[in-house]
Chains A and B, each alone.
Chain A
């Protein structure tokens, strides 16, 4: 399964709404997640099971979608939200992971 994220780069200002997309080459299981990565840091889990926020993740982050089309929405951008975001899925069998190529969210 190939995950394709769009856009590659998204330029927005603090306070704006961000919508990031991830499309799978075939229908994926419910094991779908979003990660945030800042320079020099390990990725951080934001969303799992497509729409459930991980512990400690602010409510401005939300995930939606099923089948082949998924999205991550940040309702009102904070300065600390500018980072690279990755989508990820785990197939049922064999239990292997696939990551999207990433979307860079940059300050406009």
Chain B
């Protein structure tokens, strides 16, 4: 059974840093593109970043470029999102999602809430 479980969310002050993790199981992690997708409270879905199977390619939504870094450890079946210089508008539930058939996110974790507030 495919499972994705995020962790690392919490309350962080504006300008601070946070590192999110996603533990993957039930599939060959190193064979898939992986994504971070977020959802602000009461709002829609926003793609944040993705990373190629071997980590050689990474892409970001414009609003997080230069502040967030996506990475992965295939030996530990783990995906990460390093969030620096966070802003109030980064407050959201952050989902880890696998890119499956049709280049669509076919499996999602339950999400982890990040709240940016002083």
Contacts and interface: CB of A to CB of B under 8 A. Distances in A.
Interface of A: 30-33, 35, 37, 41-45, 48-49, 52, 54, 86, 88, 90, 94-102
Interface string B26-63: 00000001010100000011110010000001010100
B106 interface: yes
Contacts of B102: 30-33, 48-49, 52
A45 B102 CA distance: 11
Contacts of A88: 45, 104-105
B44 A86 contact: yes
Interface residues on B, range: 20 to 34
Contacts of A100: 44
A75 B77 CA distance: 40
Interface of B: 33, 35, 37, 44-47, 50, 57, 59, 61, 95, 99-106, 108-111
A3 B108 CA distance: 21
Given A42-B109, A42-B110, A99 B103 contact: no
A43 B108 contact: yes
Given A37-B45, A49-B104, A97-B50, 4 more contacts: A44-B108, A88-B45, A99-B47, A101-B44
A102 B43 CA distance: 9
B106 A98 contact: no
25 contacts: A31-B103, A32-B102, A33-B102, A35-B45, A37-B45, A42-B109, A43-B105, A45-B105, A45-B106, A48-B100, A48-B104, A49-B101, A49-B104, A52-B101, A54-B101, A86-B45, A88-B104, A90-B103, A95-B33, A95-B103, A96-B50, A97-B50, A99-B44, A99-B46, A102-B44
